[in-house]
């Protein structure tokens, strides 16, 4: 594998930045690693475990090096899916193998529904889809409450509220959304508000990804092999339950993956999961064994 080569691609409303770690000797399809709002910087450790393949990572629109014409606007899973589709086209690479985590898994489901020819195998890791949970209405309301906290009080308050929601285990009660947001100081978050409302997680993608309705009819039809992945240590959390709910709708079983929601991280963003074990499991799943 060579050192990453950085490229840019102009798309409607954004300029995307992506990195190609090329292995010219590999006969395997390109392996694309995506998240949302996590960008290419979050996949350095995981990419290193696949030096025998060409690996592509990217920054979603509005994240890190990828810019948006209007950074205050929301981005939808369909927009993200079209962005990934255009990157695959630019690479001349389809079908690729695709590992997608968190919001990236939501976007990947949108991609496969529209462009199944782009993807050979999709490993969708913990998509935070409130829309498919048994407690759908309460989960959607909680997601809206986080967004409202951010819009009202800024990043620190919004992030503290977000952390309490994503770490909650089990179903949400009907009154969960009406509970007061936590004090940002509990999570060492700033209490001040700088007036910015362009955060990729809380401002651009919070509602669109949790409220997204996958096209399950389309997802059952394509030749793409779809595997839902759920962390062994995040059982009961909303994103983990999303993996179980999507798998059930597709008539499959989620595959347990080591560690938690960030199990693939090796120090990126200050978080460390079990990257060696995670990469080994991903390799096994991609190989179909």
262-280 pLDDT, tens digit each: 999 999 999 999 999 999 9
List, in order, residues 6 or more apart from 268 with CB less than 8 Å away.
41, 42, 43, 44, 45
- Report d(CA 114, CA 143) in Å as an integer: 26
- Helix, strand or coil, per DSSP, at residue 225: strand
- Report pLDDT for 221: 84
pTM of the model as a whole: 0.97
List, in order, residues 6 or more apart from 19 with CB less than 8 Å away.
4, 5, 6, 7, 40, 56, 57, 58
Q: Which H or E run contains 21?
A: strand 14-21
- Report pLDDT for 289: 74
5-129+212-286: which CATH architecture? 3-Layer(aba) Sandwich (3.40)
- Report pLDDT for 172: 98
Domain boundaries, the chain: 5-129+212-286, 136-206
pLDDT of 2 above 80: no
Tell me the pLDDT tens digit for each residue of 160-214. Answer: 999 999 999 999 999 999 999 999 999 999 999 999 999 999 999 999 999 999 9
- Report pLDDT for 1: 60
Tell me the pLDDT tens digit for each residue of 218-265. Answer: 999 878 999 999 999 999 999 999 999 999 999 999 999 999 999 999
């Amino acid at each position: 594998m060579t050192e990453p080569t950085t490229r840019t691609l102009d798309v409607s409303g954004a300029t995307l930045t992506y990195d190609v770690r090329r292995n010219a000797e590999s006969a395997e399809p390109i392996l694309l690693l995506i998240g949302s709002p996590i960008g290419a910087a979050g996949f350095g450790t995981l990419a290193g475990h696949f030096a025998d393949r060409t690996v592509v990572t990217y920054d979603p629109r509005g994240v890190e090096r990828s810019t948006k014409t209007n950074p205050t606007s929301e981005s939808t899973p369909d927009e993200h899916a079209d962005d990934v589709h255009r990157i695959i086209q630019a690479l001349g690479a389809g079908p690729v193998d695709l590992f997608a985590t968190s919001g990236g898994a939501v976007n990947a489901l949108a991609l496969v529904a529209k462009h199944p020819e782009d993807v050979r195998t999709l490993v969708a890791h913990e998509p935070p889809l409130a829309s498919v949970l048994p407690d759908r209405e309460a989960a959607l309301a909680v997601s809206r409450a986080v967004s409202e906290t951010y819009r009202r009080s800024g990043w620190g308050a919004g992030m503290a509220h977000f952390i309490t929601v994503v770490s909650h285990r089990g179903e949400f009660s009907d009154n969960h959304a009406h509970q007061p947001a936590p004090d940002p100081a509990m999570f060492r978050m700033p209490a001040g508000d700088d007036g910015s409302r362009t955060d990729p997680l809380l401002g651009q993608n919070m509602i669109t990804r949790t409220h997204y309705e996958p096209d399950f009819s389309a997802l059952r039809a394509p030749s793409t092999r779809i595997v839902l992945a759920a962390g062994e240590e995040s059982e009961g959390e909303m994103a983990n339950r999303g993996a179980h709910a999507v798998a059930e709708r597709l008539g499959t079983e989620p595959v347990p993956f080591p560690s938690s929601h960030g199990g693939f991280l090796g120090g990126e963003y200050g978080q460390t999961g079990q990257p060696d074990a995670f990469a080994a499991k991903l390799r096994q799943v991609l190989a179909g064994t």
